[in-house]
Amino acid sequence: MEKAPNPPRTLGVFTLAMINVAAICSIKNWPLTAEYGFSSLFFYIVAALLFFIPSALVSAELATGWPERGGIFVWVKEALGHKWGFLAVWLLWVNNVVWYPTVLSFIAATIAYAFNPALADNPLYTFLVIFIAYWGTTLLNLRGMKASGFISSLGAFAGAIIPGVLIILLGLSWIFFGRPSEISFGMSDLIPSFSSANQIVFLAGLILGLAGMEMSAVHARDVINPQKNYPRAILLSTILIVGLSVLGTLAIAIVIPQGKVSLVSGGMEAIKYFLDSYNMGWSVPLISVMIAIGALGQMSTWIVGPSKGLLAAAQSGELPHILHKENKKGMPVNLLIFQGIIASVISCVFLLMPNVNTSFWILLAMVAQLYLIMYLLMFISAIVLRYKRPNVKRSYRVPCGNLGMWIVGGVGFLASLATIVIGFLPPDQLETGNLIFYESFLIVGTVLLTIAPFVIHLFKKKSWDKP
């Protein structure tokens, strides 16, 4: 099959930064973290120092050293070999397939707040919104990276930056006018209780909420002057994501009593409570539409990013020919359709689960486990490539030579490993039901989805290697 010609470079610093913001920064994560009160700042600092900043620095070096399309697949393949590269990009892809039902149900519930909140509990309505939103976004992404970048930029502005700044300003005015705060700001309130590991299990969800900076590397070949512009975009998006997340979370925690937030509502109940406190309930429909647009932008970014990474693996002979195809815009058309079919099926199963809150968390926990295994491979690869490919030009390097890479990569690796262990513990804040079922679901699901690439290799045909 003749491969489609390389499309022109269309992404600048701002657009790439907005892709990162759209992919990572989501208001739906803030109420979850706000349950920690002032100690949420402690968890953000820990997550940023031990995971988010190391992953951003390592991603910037790897992307500027290996800017060809493929991202995590290329990096791990260069460091550890073809099979491990395929495992890494598979984990990036499959964790998103499991994640889509959570964000899609959030979009459906959020849109319902614009005109009839009661519809948020209607399965038929939810399924229709899921189906239309997912396939509509997929079809738009097939129009190429310029269209995809526009969707991400629109989502970042409408659904994260504008509502986020509004929530932050309302929180600041709450304090400025001397209204009572639901949290206190003493040093004892900053440090959380470590009496039980189950108390800090939500840290896995927070780290997952800050994951994804490496995903934009699959677009490195679409970036104008990637060696200079990619690190600049990483810096800009890091400042925006951490700043908005910390301030937004604290603003919500100031106004909303702990225990008032549902995981599945995605924060709309919390935001309504927040706005009602300011007699601004009239703005809830507008804010809900904006946040839904933001979630669509986030989903759009994740629909195309991991698929383009898996495409690089497919075209290297890891998957059958039918999944190699690109359209004239350079988009992996058959992979996107295949992914959509799987996501649609999983979404139907999600709607049939009896306990939505617990089901939401179990799916989120499994996503975190799969994603963090991929991060283990990425941090190891970054260290290995310093020795295996020392002469490859990297316009950005993690500072302080190889020692600096050992420190940054090592910290990121250990943080990922610790979060995997924590993620298997059920949170005290949720009723998880049968503990054996909960642990079995997570362990068996994680193991099966992790070994799947090796099973695919057992059935691999030589014809897959042909271009």
Among 229, 213, 241, 207, CA closest to 72: 213
What value does the mean pLDDT take over residues 364-376? Answer: 87
The DSSP 8-state label assigned to residue 11 in this structure reads B
Least confident of 58-62, 221-225, 352-356, 362-366: 352-356
What value does the mean pLDDT take over residues 350-367? Answer: 64
Among 303, 310, 40, 6, CA closest to 148: 303
Highest-pLDDT range among 82-91, 233-242, 310-319, 454-463: 82-91
3-state secondary structure 49-60: HHHHHHHHHHHH
Per-residue pLDDT at 4 = 46
What value does the mean pLDDT take over residues 118-139? Answer: 78
Per-residue pLDDT at 198 = 53
Q: Using the predicted structure, report yes or no on whether residue 180 has a pLDDT greater than 90.
A: no
In angstroms, the CA 411 to CA 417 distance is: 10
CB 108 within 8 Å of CB 125: yes
How far apart are the two ends of the chain, measured CA to CA in Å? 6
CB 310 within 8 Å of CB 86: no
Task: Give tens-digit pLDDT for 73-107.
Answer: 889 999 999 889 889 988 988 887 877 777 777 77
Maximum pairwise Cα distance, the chain = 71
In angstroms, the CA 31 to CA 429 distance is: 14
Q: Give domain 13-465's CATH number out of 3.30.360.10, 3.40.50.2300, 1.20.1740.10, 3.30.365.10.
A: 1.20.1740.10
In angstroms, the CA 370 to CA 138 distance is: 23
Task: Give tens-digit pLDDT for 371-388.
Answer: 899 999 999 999 999 999
Q: Using the predicted structure, report yes or no on whether residue 264 has a pLDDT greater than 60.
A: no
Polymer length of the chain? 467
Per-residue pLDDT at 2 = 42
CB neighbour burial string for 378-402, b if at least 16 within 10 angstroms, e if fewer: bbbbbbbbbeeeeeeebbbbbeeee
Q: Using the predicted structure, report yes or no on whether residue 304 has a pLDDT greater than 60.
A: yes
Q: Using the predicted structure, report yes or no on whether residue 192 has a pLDDT greater than 50.
A: yes
Spans of all domains in the chain: 13-465
In angstroms, the CA 450 to CA 360 distance is: 21
Highest-pLDDT range among 211-215, 274-278, 372-376: 372-376
Per-residue pLDDT at 413 = 95
Q: Using the predicted structure, report yes or no on whether residue 251 has a pLDDT greater than 90.
A: no
Q: Tell me what percent of the chain is helix, strand and coil, each rounded to the nearest 5.
A: 75, 0, 25
